[in-house]
């Protein structure tokens, strides 16, 4: 497996944002202005859209860390960095410490009881990842290619194109991201470039992908034989 890039590094901090303003002193336009100055955001939130979309800031930077998107909802804060979910988490915690000092907010380290993550990674692999080492999937692709080639009177190849594991969305109130691997958009299948998204930290996501590649290589499907 050859790492290509981090395309998504989102950290979700579950905290009631109204509880931060326990003393009722915060004037939200002042917060927006201060965040714009500190983080140099290119896009600022529309105050009238805060109930539907939250307060959304985009394309900011502090030090050598770039923030793709920062959103304040009533029950959580979501931040997407350009590097990894650890940076995203650290940026949220540093932001809240700064805001607590500047605006007298009710926040101390440890106030956030739960974090969650969504990471997206592009990478290369020569392993047959999308068959998962499954002979029935490879056979299905080969049979489909044969049938479609006959229908269209020209050779058409079919390949396993995506693998997804997910929880039952009806088993809990709020959905959680799938773990998905697919071919990278705008690349030929033969380039062996993939995109994966998972509800995991960037570090854990990479570890799971590396282990999955090893498992597939240990159990490769044989070449399909069409009868």
**Per-residue pLDDT, 53:** 79
pLDDT one-digit tens code per residue, 71-108? 999 999 999 999 999 999 999 999 999 999 999 999 99
Euclidean distance between CA atoms 59 and 116, whole angstroms: 22
Q: What is the pLDDT of residues 160-217, one digit of tens each?
A: 999 999 999 888 888 899 999 999 999 999 999 999 999 999 999 999 999 999 999 9
| Cβ proximity of 107 and 97 under 8 Å | yes
Helix orientation angle between 85-103 and 28-39, rounded to the nearest 10 degrees: 130
In this prediction, residue 46 carries a pLDDT of 79
Give me the mean pLDDT over the 53-67 stretch. Answer: 94
Report whether pLDDT(227) > 50: no
Assign 23 a pLDDT band (cuts: 50, 70, 90). confident
User: Model confidence at 219, in pLDDT bands (50, 70, 90)?
Assistant: confident
| pTM over 0.85, yes/no | yes
Q: Can you tell me whether residue 22 is helix, strand or coil?
A: coil
* Domain residue extents for the chain: 9-117, 125-218
Q: Which CATH code of 2.60.120, 1.10.3470, 3.30.310, 2.30.29 fits the domain covering 9-117?
A: 3.30.310
Asked whether the predicted pLDDT for residue 52 surpasses 80, the reply is: no
Beta strands in the chain (DSSP E): 2-14, 55-62, 65-72, 76-81, 114-124, 162-165, 179-183, 193-198
């Amino acid at each position: 497996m050859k790492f290509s890039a981090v395309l998504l590094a989102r950290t979700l901090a579950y905290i009631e944002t109204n509880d931060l303003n326990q003393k009722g002193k915060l004037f939200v336009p002042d917060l927006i202005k201060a965040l714009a100055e500190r983080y140099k955001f290119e896009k600022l939130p529309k105050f009238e859209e805060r109930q539907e979309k939250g307060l959304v800031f985009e394309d900011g930077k502090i030090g050598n860390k770039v923030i793709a998107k920062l959103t304040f909802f009533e029950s959580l804060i979501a931040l997407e960095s350009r590097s990894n979910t650890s940076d995203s988490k650290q940026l949220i915690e540093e932001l809240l410490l700064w805001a607590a000092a500047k605006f007298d907010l009710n926040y101390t380290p440890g106030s956030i009881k739960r974090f969650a993550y969504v990471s997206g990674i592009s990478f290369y692999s020569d392993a047959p990842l999308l068959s998962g080492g499954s002979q029935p999937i490879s056979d299905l692709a080969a049979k489909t290619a044969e049938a479609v080639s006959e229908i269209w009177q020209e050779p058409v190849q079919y390949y396993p194109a995506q693998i997804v594991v997910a929880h039952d969305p009806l088993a809990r109130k709020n959905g959680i991201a799938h773990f998905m691997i697919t071919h990278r958009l705008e690349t030929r299948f033969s380039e062996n470039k993939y995109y994966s998204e998972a509800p995991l930290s960037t570090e854990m996501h990479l570890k799971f992908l590396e282990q999955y590649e090893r498992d597939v290589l240990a159990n490769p499907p044989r070449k399909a034989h069409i009868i």
